[in-house]
Amino acid sequence: MKQTSGMRLVDPDAVAFTEVLTKVNKQHCATSALSYRLAGVSFGFRVDVPEGAGIIGLCCRHGYLAGEPVLLGILRDLAVTPQARSQGLAHSLIEAAVAKASQQGAQLLLFETAGASLPLNALSAGWDQVPPFRAVGTFSSVQVVPVLWRWEEPEYRIFKATVHDIPALAYLLDLYRRTLTFGAPVTEESFRESLAKLPDFGPGDFRIARYKGEMVAMLGVWEPGPSLSIKLEAPSLLEHLIGGAGRILGRLSPFPRLPVAGQPLRARFLRYFATKQGHPQVLRYLLNRIANETRKAGAHSYQISLPQGEPWQELVRGGMRRVSYRTVWAASLAADIGVDGSGPIDPDILDLVPFTGASK
């Protein structure tokens, strides 16, 4: 490896961190909402060479492993500018982040990649300072352009949540996450703190489903507004026809008014989904309501991340869908902790409020 100008621990919100992340993959930053991603980073590392720079983020938080409490170290947003690659910067960044996670008392490491491959083949074997990683789950992020009107099932009543529902929302979310292999515990206090990390996101942005008066499901709808600029990729013929019909007919059309290619795409992100057992179809009715609200509000699409292979994926329907995949990898930092036998993983585990102290 060439001599670097030194590894720096930087504020994740600082230009020193964000400029590399934005430069390397603008579309990834846009579709994930950069300010939201940085809300889930406790420590940022940057390393420089004459040709460019690299960064990695780390957050440590309490979670569950098959229902048992565990402290997780989550590696985030590994990025090296193109001209600075093949110099060992990524290895150095990962080693620094793993060392910091160990210092904080993390027992497990999680790392996310787009697609099915790790950015460094050596991670699957590990090296002296880094334990071996293995794939433990895949998420599919589905971007849906809502087209068709669907009726709701009358046995479920869907409402907008209020501030008085926060304790029940936190309880339901924590109850659900305990059933997942990797999940983050939720208290009323931590739930309020999570909401505070998202601009213009509060109790009224949750849709809750009640069955015979009991809350059985919840789903948050976050619309980041004009600060998040997502450019529409080259549209298909179907998107041309649907978007054109929506623009011509306006409010008379059941179709969304899609922008033309290159113009900003107004998207909503669906977060914090939870459901009680015995209600497998309830997500469909929540999505029906959200799809109708999305179209009526003039937004163009909504996006939701779900564990690959879960039955819920069949419920995410729309006239047009674009799907991307993310793989989650795990490595153990404790002799008595393993990553075998993994099951459903909470998609929000990578983005919740950071842990702010050493484990007790």
- Listed as ranges, residues in the chain with pLDDT below 70 are 1-5, 25-40, 114-117, 147-153, 224-265, 309-321, 340-343, 351-360
Residue 50 to residues 3, 22, 47, 56, 79, Cα–Cα distance (Å): 10, 19, 11, 18, 16
Q: What architecture is the 143-325 domain classified under in CATH?
A: 3-Layer(aba) Sandwich (3.40)
The whole-angstrom distance between residue 234's C-alpha and the CA centroid of its chain comes to 24
Tracing tokens 């002296």 back to the chain, one arrives at: 128
CATH class of 7-138+326-350: alpha beta
What is the rounded distance in angstroms from the CA atom of residue 146 to the CA atom of residue 157?
Answer: 21
What is the rounded distance in angstroms from the CA atom of residue 207 to the CA atom of residue 219?
Answer: 5
In one letter, which amino acid is 14? A
Instruction: For residue range 268-323, list pLDDT tens digits in order.
Output: 888 888 989 888 788 888 888 888 888 777 777 788 887 776 666 666 665 566 77
Residue 113 to residues 4, 30, 141, 257, 302, Cα–Cα distance (Å): 25, 16, 13, 33, 22
Q: Which residues contact 189 (CB under 8 A, 6 or more apart)?
A: none
What is the rounded distance in angstroms from the CA atom of residue 91 to the CA atom of residue 116?
Answer: 19
Phi, psi (degrees; rounded to nearest 5) at 158: -110, 130
Q: Which two tokens stand for residue 204?
A: 């009224």
In 10 A of CB 84, how many CB atoms? 20
SS3 per-residue string spanning the chain: CCCCCCEEEECCCCHHHHHHHHHHCHHHHHHHCHHHHHCCCCEEEEEEECCEEEEEEEEEEEEEECCEEEEEEEEEEEEECHHHCCCCHHHHHHHHHHHHHHHCCCCEEEEEEECCCCCCHHHHCCECCECCCEEEEEEEEEEEECCCCCCCCCCEEEEECCHHHHHHHHHHHHHHHCCCCEECCCCHHHHHHHHHCCCCCCHHHEEEEEECCEEEEEEEEECCHHHCCEECCCCCHHHHHHHHHHHHHHHHCCCCCCCCCCCEECEEEEEEEEECCCCCCHHHHHHHHHHHHHHHCCCCEEEEEEECCCHHHHHCCCCEEEEEEEEEEEEECCCCCCCCCCCCECHHHHCCCCCCCCCC
Instruction: For residue range 59-109, list pLDDT tens digits in order.
Output: 888 888 877 888 989 998 888 888 888 888 888 999 999 999 999 999 999
Say what the pLDDT of residue 204 is: 93
Say what the pLDDT of residue 319 is: 56
What is the rounded distance in angstroms from the CA atom of residue 282 to the CA atom of residue 100?
Answer: 41
Topology alike, domains 7-138+326-350 and 143-325: yes
Say what the pLDDT of residue 94 is: 92
Q: Which two tokens stand for residue 87?
A: 């110099």
Question: Could you tell me the residue ranges of all domains in the chain?
Answer: 7-138+326-350, 143-325
